[in-house]
Structure 1
Amino acid sequence: MHLGHVRTDDGVSPVIGVILMVAITVVLATIVAGFALGLEERKMDTAPNAEFEFDYDSGASTLEITHANGDEVREDRVTIKGHSNGPKTPDWTGDTDTDDYFSAGATYTATGVGSDDTVKVVWEGPNGDSTTLATWEQ
């Protein structure tokens, strides 16, 4: 009879199976989290979908710009370009929000606007990209 060293592999298979299942779960969670965070980051970098209305007063050379509808917009990302007092990052009034965003109902009055000017409401993204949200021409 041989009483030497006996080797059994009975407990190895379940342990390896558990380790592989944990590893697969961690990899999948990392992939899903990266995808979800990536989508949120891209969403924040896209231009808002907003509509603006314009009311021009030629006697006073002013153009009232009103956020008529759509997404709320971050104030420091919007400039008004194309008139003698522009470009300017406006302070929107009449907005019910107290944070750094403005929404429908907020207005800004641009001064020094001539009848031959082309005034643009421009959104500037964090990566230096820009999108014209609205354009006014007489």
Structure 2
Amino acid sequence: MKSEKLLKSESDAVSPVVGVMLMLVVTIIIAAVVSGFAGGIMTSSDKTPQATIKGTFSLSDGMRITHTGGDPIAMHKVVFGIYDGETFGPDVDTVTKQTLNKSTMTYYNADGKVEDVMGPSGSYNMTSFVAGSSIYIGERYCAPDYLQPGICPDGYDYDNDKSQYHNDKYKNRWSLCLYNVNNIGRDFVLTVSDTSGNLIAKTKVTVTS
């Protein structure tokens, strides 16, 4: 009889412990599910857009950047960059890296009229860069004093020099300028990134007349 009471007592003592353990396991599982769900939401919302971008560069017509497919890109979160490709010589990419100034860009609005991408107050007239749309940088803004100020030769004068600048003192820098008529046929790289530095697209562009 005493043995039966002892077994019953031990059984009663184990039951609450098992119950508590089961509750802990359930709580941990629920917490893991909620955490995973929340993490998935954050990951999807912070996902870097991916797009196919094409570019053209003409000394006479300027530069055109076209979104040919993929995700829409918020204009206030995008950074356009360029650097000279291998056809300009070895190890010139770091020296020639340049962020494009969005205030020099235009596009065709819904009415088919040319409009600045950025308004005078810094707000965006073009809020999203979507598949099928293009951005333009006029010929004047493709000259090195605007497009590549980091390597623009000292004393460069657009009105007098344009694409045939003559000054032996700065010939090394001038040889790296996309606007140089001698660089027709050479390639540079156009990059599209977000403001956090994540690459969205990269494409090769050939300098044409």
Using the size of structure 2 for normalisation, the TM-score is 0.45
Residue 82 of structure 2 contacts residue 190 of structure 2 at CA under 8 Å; is this kept in 1? yes
Tell me what 1:66 maps to: 66
User: What are the within-5 Å matches in structure 2 for residues 29-40 of structure 1?
Assistant: 29-40=30-41
Give 1:131's aligned residue.
Answer: 199
Give 1:46 shift.
Answer: 5.0
**Pick aligned residue for 2:100 from 87, 90, 97:** 87
CA contact (8 A) 1:78 1:89 kept: no
Counterpart-to-counterpart distance in 2, 1:89 and 1:14: 70
Deviations 1:6-63 (CA, angstroms, capped at 9, x unpaired): x945554443333222211221222233334445544555542210122444323x21
Residue ranges of structure 1 left out of the alignment (5+ in a row): 1-6
Which residue in the other structure is 1:104 paired with?
A: 131
Rate the CA distance shift 1:92–1:41 in 2: closer, same or farther, 3 A.
farther
Q: Secondary structure at the match of 2:19?
A: helix
1:54 aligns with 2:55: yes
> 5+ unaligned residues in a row in structure 2: which ranges?
1-7, 84-97, 111-124, 143-178
**Equivalenced residues, count:** 128
Looking at both structures, which has the greater relative contact order when contacts are Cα pairs under 8 Å and sequence separation is at least 6? Answer: 2
Task: Mark the CA change 1:92 to 1:38 in structure 2 (over 3 Å): closer, same or farther.
Answer: farther
**Percent of paired sites with the same residue:** 14
Task: State the TM-score, normalizing by the size of structure 1.
Answer: 0.62
* Correspondence list, 1:21-32, <5 A: 21-32=22-33
Paired amino acid for 1:54:
G
Question: Which one has a larger percent helix, Structure 1 or Structure 2?
Answer: 2
Q: Partner amino acid for 2:201?
A: L
> Relative to total residues, which structure has the larger strand share, 1 or 2?
1
1:75 alignment partner in structure 2 = 75
Cα shift at 1:70: 1.0
Structure 2 residue identity aligned to 1:123: S
